[in-house]
Each structure stands twice: as C-alpha cells, then as structure tokens.
C-alpha cells in the first residue's frame, strides 16, 4: 500500500505470486503491482461509500486520517480524483467539515473560483482580514489550517473545471473589482505614496484593497511568492539562507484610520502609522516581527498623540 494509506493493515491472498524468488524481485513483479493498484482503488471506493452512506462515521475517520489522504493528493496522481472526493475541510459557511463537491454546489452563480485561506491556526484564519470581503458578500472560504495544505492544494489547480484560489495571494482581490475602484485609488493615491516611502523595502508594494471591509490593512503574497506560512515552513526545514520575501500591503481606503491619515501632515506620525498598519497586519497573519521593541515604541508614540 502507498504511504498515505499507512493506517491500513491486512492480508491479501493470491496464487499468482512467485514466492520462490527474492523479496527485491518480488517488489518489482507486475502481478504485485496490479494487486496494489486494484487494492488502492478498492479501498478508496469503499471509503467513498462510507462517506455517502454514513457521514457521521466518515467524519470520525476524517478527524484521524484526513492528513494522510491529503498526502495522497501529492504522491498518487493516478487516484487524485478519487482522493479529492474524500478529503474534507473546515469552512466559513458550515459547521464541521465539508467536501469540495458540497462547496461547489453552494457556489454563487457568478463566483469565479473555490476560495481558500491557509495558515497555522483555525481561529486566526477565521478572524483574518483577508476573508472579510468574502464573508460580507456571502462567499464561502475554505479554512485550511493543516500545514500540508500549503504544499498540496496549490498543486491541484482545479476541481471539476473550477479554479482553487488562495486568498493569501494578491491576485484573488481582482475578483472584487468594481466600477468605483479607480475613483477610490485616485483619492488616496497621495497617501499610498507616503506609506510606500515610509516603509521602503519592508514591502513589495502598497495598494488600495478591494477585499477589506472592517480592517484598515492586510498583507498578501505576490502571485509567485511563498505565503507567510510557507516561508515559516521552509525555515523550519533548515532553509534559513532562502531569500527573504516581503509582502504586499493592502490598505482599506474607507477605514476611519486611513481617512484620518489622509489629513495628517506630520511626516513622523505618518511614518509611525504606516509601520503600524504593516505590523498589525503581519501579526494577524502569524508573521514574526523582527523588532518587536520598535513596534511597541511606535505604538506608544501614536497612543500618546491620540490621548
């Protein structure tokens, strides 16, 4: 059995195996390969039957073995379609677990993809500024807090001709484009430039957000850059020499903080607030602040002026 089905134990009786040869040769035997392939398909088919006939029992199984099944998405391309029907995710729309098939049935007619967010903590993801716009518009977002999701899900690409889109990436915000975006961007363009100048190389870019509704800012990864969680995983794997990837800062032009900041002329104050907009967004996404003492000093300066 493949590694992702390591939780299985059993015996297969066959009269076709030549047992008078070495174990190494046996492992390359075509009959054994056929038995393995047929057994995997049989197991996945039986799991599918359970998922359809006894959902409560299947959820008990998923709570223990959802992760190994996800590993199969990456390692067993031949059975990927079957595995996509078996894996489950948390969601912003339903309690407990849901499948990709069930998500697709609930999609809005004009929805452009299956949206998901990745990170290391479910509660943090549910409260992430990145999903505010989706929740407000009633668009479901899958919550993927298992670190393997960060590796496996982008490799899938599509589910039944529907693209899987990470809200951690900058490109998904384009799905929220509206006719008044240009007017909003023009209005805050001078402030955006000031924030860019203040942050310098701490960010890849500063843009007007199309996805934020309640929060003043958020960070996202460029389409070709790793997310915050992926960077943390790479460091944990020993790739400490990997080049640092800086985020894109999105700013909510209708938030009270941003609207008031437009009227400020004090350059030092603008600089402090610009860094706080970035650093609070980083904290919300689980990113580590390199200089927390500087963050505290900036926060204290801003609070002092506000009192």
Q: In this structure, are 199 and 300 located in the same domain?
A: yes
164 DSSP assignment: E
Is residue 298, in this structure, part of any structural domain at all? yes
pLDDT at position 293 is 96
* Residue from 224, 222, 244 nearest 235 by CA: 244
Based on the fold, state whether residues 298 and 202 are members of the same structural domain. Answer: yes
Task: State how far Cα 47 lies from the chain centre.
Answer: 26
Residue 178: domain span:
174-306
Residue 119 inside a domain? The answer is no
The pLDDT confidence band at residue 180, using thresholds 50, 70 and 90, is: confident
Q: Please report the pLDDT score of residue 240 as a whole number.
A: 67
Per residue, the 3-state secondary structure of 19-75, as one string, reads: CCCCHHHHHCCHHHHHHHHHHHHHHHHHHHHHHHHCHHHHHHHHHHHHHHHHHHHHH
In the chain, how many domains are there?
A: 2
User: The CATH number of the domain where 235 resides is what?
Assistant: 1.20.120.790
Q: Which tokens go with 177?
A: 């484009």
The Cα 272–Cα 287 span in angstroms is 19
Domain contains 187: yes
Q: What is the CATH number of the domain that holds 73?
A: 3.30.230.80
SS3 90: strand
pLDDT digits (tens, 9 = 90+) for 53-112: 999 999 999 999 999 999 999 899 999 999 999 999 999 999 999 999 999 999 998 888
Dist CA 27 CA 95 (whole Å): 44
Given 69, 87, 105, which residue is the final one in a domain?
A: 87
- Read off φ and ψ for residue 94, nearest 5 degrees: -130, 155
User: Bridge partners of 163?
Assistant: 158
């Amino acid at each position: 059995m493949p590694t992702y089905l390591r939780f299985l134990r059993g015996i297969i009786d066959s009269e076709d195996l030549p047992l008078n040869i070495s174990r190494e040769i046996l492992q390359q035997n075509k009959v054994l390969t056929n038995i393995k392939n047929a057994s995997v398909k049989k197991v996945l088919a039986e799991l599918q039957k359970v998922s359809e006939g006894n959902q409560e029992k299947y959820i008990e199984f998923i709570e223990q073995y959802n992760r190994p099944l996800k590993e199969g998405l990456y390692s067993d391309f031949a059975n990927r379609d079957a595995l996509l029907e078996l894996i489950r995710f948390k969601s912003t729309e339903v309690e407990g677990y849901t499948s990709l098939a069930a998500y697709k049935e609930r999609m809005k007619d004009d929805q452009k993809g299956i949206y998901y967010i990745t990170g290391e903590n479910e509660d943090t993801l549910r409260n992430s500024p990145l999903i505010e716009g989706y929740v407000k518009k009633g668009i479901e977002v899958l919550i993927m807090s298992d670190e393997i999701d960060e590796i496996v899900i982008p490799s899938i690409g599509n589910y039944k001709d529907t693209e899987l889109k990470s809200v951690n990436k900058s490109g998904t915000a384009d799905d929220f484009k509206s006719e008044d975006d240009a007017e909003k961007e023009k209005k805050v363009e001078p402030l955006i430039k000031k924030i860019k100048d203040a942050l310098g190389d701490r960010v890849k870019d500063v843009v007007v957000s199309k996805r934020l509704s309640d929060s003043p800012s958020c960070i996202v990864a460029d389409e070709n850059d790793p997310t915050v969680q992926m960077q943390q995983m790479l460091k944990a794997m020993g790739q400490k020499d990997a080049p640092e990837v800086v985020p894109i800062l999105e700013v909510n032009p209708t938030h009270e903080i941003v609207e008031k900041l437009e009227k400020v002329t004090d350059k030092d104050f603008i600089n402090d607030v610009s860094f706080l907009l970035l650093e609070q967004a980083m904290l919300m996404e689980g990113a580590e602040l390199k200089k927390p003492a500087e963050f505290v000093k900036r926060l204290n300066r801003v609070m002092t002026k506000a009192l």
